[in-house]
Amino acid sequence: MAEINRQWVVAQASTSAGMCLEPEVFGLHEAPIPEPGPGQILIRNLIFACEPLVHAWVKGVPGRIDPLPVGATIKGHAGGQVVTSQHPGFNVGDLVHGNLAWADYTLSDGNDVNGVPLSLQVEGFDLSTSMITLGMTGLCAYIGLLDIGSPKPGDMVVVSAAAGGIGNIAGQLAGLAGCEVIGIAGDENKCQRLVSDLGFTAAIDYKSSDVSAELGKLAPGGVNVMFDNVGGQVLDAVLLNLASWGRVVVCGGIGSYDNPQMGVYNHILLAQRNGSMHGFWYSDYQQNFARATQRLGQWLKEGKLKEVVDIAHGFEQVPEASRGIFSGANMGKQLVQIASPVEA
């Protein structure tokens, strides 16, 4: 157990136009381990989840999230274990996850930075599964693909950033819904794994292929549902191949986060195809969480849904691993493990 509390802070404001933060934004500070007061708990952080949103927490999102000032400790989705509790709802040894400090320890009142109670792990699953497949990652995939995209058996579904944390689950869920599913990913090896390990019908390496031409061959009847994490040219290529009454679910736009000049040029095809595009913000769908979590857990237990994680090790890896998802360095959800839970 660390004697000090290392923490990643905002060393200087980001000046990049995109979302991916420059290395010099991250500063490593050390401080004493905080002491919980009445009503507080001390969490030893174990696992960090790398999400595009982590960077939004730092830079802010107008109307949604205030940016962090220079000097503030960065927060992000992480899991940990309660090591000291002065809070009646938590016992020492409890595993929790939520928006925790990018630090060895988080001092908490039991709510995360949004005032949402820190989630407990789901019965029968370990902390990382509770955080990822049964947490925001899996819920985004479930709600976006199934509740909003509403694919029907036999539909042709396309998932972009298909080798990413949310994308690989969305693609597997499309398969479970009886659809054909084409993944778009950033290298040949990832594409092969989508097909051989995760049941995708086919996969397209956008870095070495003409995505629109490949879709024309693989989906001659058009794309019924696209689950989009990318935007820009990838979205345009799918719009060119959209079937009549096709639907695009806008989960993210990682391609445009770091290239704000990357526009969408084919939106007018929505009119010619009676198409639609549906954005969603996952925390506004809390009424869907319980059912989604129950089903995702069931499919995991039955082996119908595979969990794909890419784990880095060591506290010092957190900034670079978080940056890496913007260049597609990961296969599946990128995690950074900094410690292991202690048995009760």
Residues within the interface to a copy of itself (CB under 8 A): 61, 63-64, 231, 235, 244, 250-253, 256-257, 260-265, 267-281, 284
Are 203 and 183 a contacting pair, CB within 8 Å? yes
How far lies 181's CA from each of 110, 147, 168, 204, 300, in Å?
Answer: 40, 17, 11, 11, 19
**Smallest separation (angstroms) from a copy of itself to the CB of 270:** 3
Give the nearer residue to a copy of itself in terms of CB position, either 208 or 283. Answer: 283
Kind of pairing, strands 41-49 and 105-108?
antiparallel
Give the nearer residue to a copy of itself in terms of CB position, either 40 or 212. Answer: 212
CA distance 316 to 2: 14
**Smallest separation (angstroms) from a copy of itself to the CB of 262:** 8
**Smallest separation (angstroms) from a copy of itself to the CB of 15:** 20
Kind of pairing, strands 333-337 and 41-49?
antiparallel
Are 151 and 157 a contacting pair, CB within 8 Å? yes
Structure tokens at 270: 């929505």
Kind of pairing, strands 242-250 and 180-185?
unpaired
Give the nearer residue to a copy of itself in terms of CB position, either 164 or 231. Answer: 231
Residue 13 DSSP class = -
Q: What are phi and psi of 179, to 5 degrees?
A: -100, 160
Give the nearer residue to a copy of itself in terms of CB position, either 183 or 252. Answer: 252
**Smallest separation (angstroms) from a copy of itself to the CB of 248:** 8
**Smallest separation (angstroms) from a copy of itself to the CB of 213:** 14
Give the nearer residue to a copy of itself in terms of CB position, either 147 or 320. Answer: 147
Give the nearer residue to a copy of itself in terms of CB position, either 31 or 269. Answer: 269
Give the nearer residue to a copy of itself in terms of CB position, either 39 or 221. Answer: 221
**Smallest separation (angstroms) from a copy of itself to the CB of 95:** 30
**Closest to 256 measured CA to CA, from 235, 242, 276, 275:** 235
**Smallest separation (angstroms) from a copy of itself to the CB of 54:** 16
CA distance 54 to 131: 15
**Smallest separation (angstroms) from a copy of itself to the CB of 52:** 11
State the distance between the two ends of the chain, measured CA to CA, in whole angstroms. Answer: 15
Residue with tokens 């009142």: 109
165-176 helix and 188-198 helix, angle to the nearest 10 degrees: 40
**Smallest separation (angstroms) from a copy of itself to the CB of 129:** 25
CA distance 342 to 344: 6
Give the nearer residue to a copy of itself in terms of CB position, either 244 or 298. Answer: 244
Measured over the CA atoms of residue 312, residue 315, residue 317 and residue 319, the dihedral's sign is: positive
How far lies 31's CA from each of 34, 169, 218, in Å?
Answer: 8, 38, 55
Are 10 and 49 a contacting pair, CB within 8 Å? no
Give the nearer residue to a copy of itself in terms of CB position, either 140 or 162. Answer: 140
